[in-house]
Amino acid sequence: MFGNKAARIQALTEEKEILFQSLEEGVLIVDEEMIITDVSRSTVHLLKVQKRELIGKRVSSCLQPDLKALLDKIEYLLETCQQTGIPMTDSILIEEKRKIYLELMAIPKNSSQGAILLFQDKSSHYKVVEMGKDFVANASHELKTPITIIKGFAETLQDIGDLPKEIYLDIIEKIVRNCQRMEKLVKNLLTLADLESLPFSRFEACDLKALLTSCKEMEEALHPQAHFRIECPHEDVFVLADVDLLELAIINLIENAVKYSKGPAQIDLIVESHEGEICLQIKDQGMGIPEEALEHIFDRFYTVNKAYARRLGGAGLGLSIVKNIIEKHQGRITAASVLGEGTTFSLNLPRQELED
Ligand code: ADP
């Protein structure tokens, strides 16, 4: 009978150990003297030490100096929760560079003396929150500038009733331009928000050549001096797409090609069909992008030259929208550029095979 019980206890202990070691949360257990009695595998991984270097020591005495702030906090939480008998929680950002953000919870043991510390790595959540904060700050800043300009000019009109006609028209033109800038920014922000919850039902087989032709016609009407050329030797080039969004991405790239070309723009839209994949290149002979900027151009609110982009009505959201759209289509986008010679954006999209 005792043999059975011993075996059950043994099995339970093993199960507990397996569970304990497979926990994603870091666990660290101390006795009433604040001596570590056990740690989970995640703890060892996070603190970057061997388990044997932890067991039997005080938290603060056994670890690297770069984790001192964390260790002090852990010790404080474990001690306080034992003294007060209630769980204690806190959070800490360690390793400023890699941004490891931990949430800590110290719980006093009821049955015996000592306490348990749980810690969760919330770095990815923290990064999302930080990105959100940056995004709101950038968006507010971009909106604030035109609002300030509009307010300033509107007040001038209000205060000085009798302005010469040309000054009056100049002020009105600036107000309208800044309203357009704000309108574009808000539209871009709404597009970015919509892209987060894109329903798959809007995807359909899309004839890429026909779509490019319609984009070309639209752009020719807007920019009569620019030259557009489509090179698509294949018929029946189809991709699975949300046609409105794919059109928006292509138009954004063409608009940039026109915007960043000095003089009449020359824009080539080249389609190549590969095994299972289509490559669309949008090529201009404009001012080009400096090499060091190429890796940032798809970041939200990034502009190579802020003042120049603003003058052209841009806030650095266009390419991040394009990238987002292309990725929603299971594709990828890259850019190659030679300063002073031009830029080529390449979109690779899965080819849609049509059934007969
Ligand atoms: P913006 O609305 O300011 O143009 P984008 O996100 O569309 O923002 O582009 C980011 C930056 O990349 C631009 O500020 C510009 O400096 C650069 N860029 C984009 N497309 C081109 C291009 N075809 N030629 C040269 N520079 C470009």
The pLDDT of 340-344, averaged and rounded, is: 96
Q: Residue 302 C-alpha to ligand 1 middle, in angstroms?
A: 8
Reported confidence tier of residue 22, pLDDT bands at 50, 70, 90? confident
- What DSSP string runs through 147-207? HHHHHHHHHHHHH-----HHHHHHHHHHHHHHHHHHHHHHHHHHHHHHHTT--GGG-EEEE
Q: Residue 265 C-alpha to ligand 1 middle, in angstroms?
A: 15
pLDDT over threshold 60, residue 2 = no
pLDDT score of 204 = 92
Token output for 258: 């026109």
> What is this structure's pTM?
0.72
Residue type, 170: D
Take atom 25 of ligand 1 and give the residue whose Cα is closest.
Answer: 288
The pLDDT of 336-348, averaged and rounded, is: 97
Share of the chain above pLDDT 70, in %: 96
pLDDT score of 1 = 52
Helix axes 243-259, 208-222, angle to 10 degrees: 40
- For residue 319, the ligand 1 atom closest to its alpha carbon is 6
Q: Tens digit of pLDDT for each residue in 65-104?
A: 677 888 889 999 999 999 999 999 999 988 766 778 899 9
Reported confidence tier of residue 3, pLDDT bands at 50, 70, 90? low
Residue type, 278: I
- For residue 252, the ligand 1 atom closest to its alpha carbon is 7
Q: Residue 158 C-alpha to ligand 1 middle, in angstroms?
A: 37
Task: Name residues contacting ligand 1 (CB within 6 A).
Answer: 256-257, 260, 284, 286-289, 297, 302-304, 309, 314-320, 343
Take atom 12 of ligand 1 and give the residue whose Cα is closest.
Answer: 297
Q: Residue 314 C-alpha to ligand 1 middle, in angstroms?
A: 8
- For residue 261, the ligand 1 atom closest to its alpha carbon is 24
The pLDDT of 211-224, averaged and rounded, is: 95
Q: Residue 189 C-alpha to ligand 1 middle, in angstroms?
A: 17
Reported confidence tier of residue 46, pLDDT bands at 50, 70, 90? confident
Q: Which of 280, 146, 137 minimizes the C-alpha distance to 207?
A: 280
Q: Residue 11 C-alpha to ligand 1 middle, in angstroms?
A: 64
CA 17 to CA 15: how far, in whole Å? 5
pLDDT over threshold 70, residue 296 = yes
Q: Residue 262 C-alpha to ligand 1 middle, in angstroms?
A: 14
Test site for ligand 1: of 187, 255, 256, 295, most ligand atoms within 8 A of the Cβ: 256
Reported confidence tier of residue 195, pLDDT bands at 50, 70, 90? confident
The pLDDT of 260-274, averaged and rounded, is: 93
Helix residue ranges per DSSP H, the chain: 2-22, 41-47, 68-84, 123-159, 165-195, 208-222, 243-259, 291-294, 306-311, 318-328
pLDDT over threshold 80, residue 21 = no
CA 189 to CA 10: how far, in whole Å? 59
Token output for 186: 């808000």
The alpha carbon torsion through 251, 253, 259, 265 (nearest 10 deg) reads: -90
Test site for ligand 1: of 250, 291, 297, most ligand atoms within 8 A of the Cβ: 297
Test site for ligand 1: of 181, 261, 289, most ligand atoms within 8 A of the Cβ: 289
CB distance 64 to 48 below 8 Å: yes
Q: Residue 352 C-alpha to ligand 1 middle, in angstroms?
A: 30
pLDDT score of 299 = 94
Q: Residue 137 C-alpha to ligand 1 middle, in angstroms?
A: 21
Cα dihedral 177, 183, 186, 192 sign: negative
Test site for ligand 1: of 303, 323, 324, 333, most ligand atoms within 8 A of the Cβ: 303
